Chain A
Amino acid sequence: DTEVTQTPKHLVMGMTNKKSLKCEQHMGHRAMYWYKQKAKKPPELMFVYSYEKLSINESVPSRFSPECPNSSLLNLHLHALQPEDSALYLCASSQEALAGGGDTQYFGPGTRLTVL
């Protein structure tokens, strides 16, 4: 089973709202990722968590706040977003530091976010 689930599937929010995106995996993976994908563009890495600790932040604005409460869950807290933040937000997970490319990332279906 290589399933990563994300909720909600769609989210519409105003610029003053606070909302959260959720991601869950039960594959025993210890690395989890957030990507952002604008329309007609490839996915771009935002954050990487390893063993529940933030290891990579790709210079993402502070209005995006990630959280990894345990090894199976990853949240992305949103506050004071701008319309240009509208995008597909993708979560992925992988094992860690395995030879042979065993740390393949598996993606969830994404959350389609619209900021009004």
Chain B
Amino acid sequence: DAKTTQPPSMDCAEGRAANLPCNHSTISGNEYVYWYRQIHSQGPQYIIHGLKNNETNEMASLIITEDRKSSTLILPHATLRDTAVYYCIVRVAGGIYGGSQGNLIFGKGTKLSVKP
């Protein structure tokens, strides 16, 4: 089972920041937080990941709380093309050497709808 809890859906106005929350209260010390998104009928797209520090790349920012029990993915200026299902996943890094804990286990995600 997925180790994360996300709201099933969210709306965001185009041009505004989209803040997607994720709860992972049972996260272990060696587990990373990963975010992927899936636009309708396409393959999942990697967005960002982090362990305990906040991370930023060209797509998004990831804010992880100090106790690591929750995180927020921020899309700073949402566009219509950001409409997708966003998945928050916790996993042990280290490929198959992480054992089954290294597997990507997708939950139901958050359906983000960006509206004009």
Q: Which residues of A contact B (CB under 8 A)?
A: 2, 4, 6, 31, 42-45, 48, 50, 55-56, 88, 90, 92, 94-110, 112
Contacts and interface: CB of A to CB of B under 8 A. Distances in A.
A102 B43 contact: no
B103 A109 contact: no
A103 B94 CA distance: 6
Interface residues of B, number: 28
Interface in B2-36: 2, 32, 34, 36
A42 B37 CA distance: 11
A104 B40 CA distance: 21
Contact of B96 (A31, A100, A101): A31
B87 A42 contact: yes
Contacts of A108: 43
B104 interface: yes
B96 A50 contact: yes
A44 B106 contact: yes
Nearest to A58: B103
B32 A101 contact: yes
A56 B106 CA distance: 17
